[in-house]
């Protein structure tokens, strides 16, 4: 039995704790009891903030998805040649992943067992399709190699970006983060070869 502390949580700070537990134990493996223990407040205090763990999941993946979809409305994503927009979205997606690491990590681990998870998967697919659309447009404009299946290229591009959740650790500073984003763009568009 842990000593319950006074509930001074804001929606955001409680969410941060919940996301940490979800990423550690898996969403399915997390109970309200686990959340209560991690937050150091009673279950009824948590219920004061949210209806249950699915609402926490919804907010967490919502935060990740909002961050990602907002990229698509930025000027760099809507103006110019498709290849420039694609590069922009690739760089920004990498940056949002680093800035919102626990939330995007959770989003990428969603399985589809609940309605919230299925909605999140559908939104992820929508984002992938927007990216695939940019690739198709860039091929049509002659800026992207035509000898690669667009669906396959999209998967490999996201595979590279999303791998960051496995090895990226924040705290190395803005310059180091910029180097990571630049490396993703360089590798994806120009390759390793000189």
Q: Which is nearer to a second copy, 12 or 190 (CB)?
A: 190
Please state the closest distance from residue 46 (CB atom) to a second copy, in A: 25
Q: Which is nearer to a second copy, 56 or 82 (CB)?
A: 82
Please state the closest distance from residue 83 (CB atom) to a second copy, in A: 7
- For the record, the structure tokens of 30 come out as 């997390």
Q: Which is nearer to a second copy, 99 or 148 (CB)?
A: 148
Q: Which is nearer to a second copy, 99 or 183 (CB)?
A: 183
Q: Which is nearer to a second copy, 39 or 184 (CB)?
A: 184
Please state the closest distance from residue 183 (CB atom) to a second copy, in A: 5
Please state the closest distance from residue 159 (CB atom) to a second copy, in A: 2
Cα dihedral sign, 101-103-107-112: positive
The angle, 0 to 180 degrees and rounded to 10, between the axes of the packed helices 53-71 and 32-39 is: 80
Residues 6+ apart with CB under 8 A from 59: 11, 15, 50
Please state the closest distance from residue 35 (CB atom) to a second copy, in A: 20
**End-to-end Cα distance, the chain:** 60
Residues 6+ apart with CB under 8 A from 99: 67
Buried b (16+ CB within 10 A) or exposed e, 140-171: eeeebeeeeebeebbeebbeebbebbeebeee
Do residues 97 and 164 touch, judged by C-beta distance below 8 A?
yes
Query: How far apart are the C-alpha atoms of 129 and 70, rounded to whole Å?
Result: 15
Q: Which is nearer to a second copy, 68 or 131 (CB)?
A: 131
Please state the closest distance from residue 52 (CB atom) to a second copy, in A: 23
**Binding-site ranges for a second copy (CB under 8 A):** 83, 135, 138, 142-149, 152-153, 155-164, 166-167, 179-180, 183-184, 186-194
């Amino acid at each position: 039995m842990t000593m319950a502390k006074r509930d001074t949580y804001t929606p955001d700070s409680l969410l941060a704790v919940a996301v940490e537990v979800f990423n550690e134990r898996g969403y399915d493996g997390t109970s309200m009891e686990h959340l209560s223990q991690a937050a150091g407040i009673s279950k009824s205090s948590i219920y004061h903030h949210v209806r249950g763990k699915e609402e926490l999941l919804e907010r967490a993946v919502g935060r990740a998805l909002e961050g990602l979809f907002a990229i698509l409305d930025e000027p760099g994503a809507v103006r110019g040649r498709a290849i420039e927009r694609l590069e922009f979205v690739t760089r920004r997606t990498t940056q949002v992943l680093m800035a919102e690491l626990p939330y995007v990590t959770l989003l990428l681990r969603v399985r589809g067992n609940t309605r919230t998870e299925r909605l999140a998967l559908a939104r992820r697919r929508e984002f992938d399709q927007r990216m695939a659309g940019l690739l198709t447009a860039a091929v049509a404009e002659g800026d992207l190699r035509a000898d690669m299946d667009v669906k396959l290229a999209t998967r490999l591009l996201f595979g590279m970006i999303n791998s960051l959740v496995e090895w990226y650790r924040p705290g190395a500073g803005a310059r180091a983060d910029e180097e990571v984003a630049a490396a993703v763009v360089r590798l994806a568009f120009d390759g390793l070869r000189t």
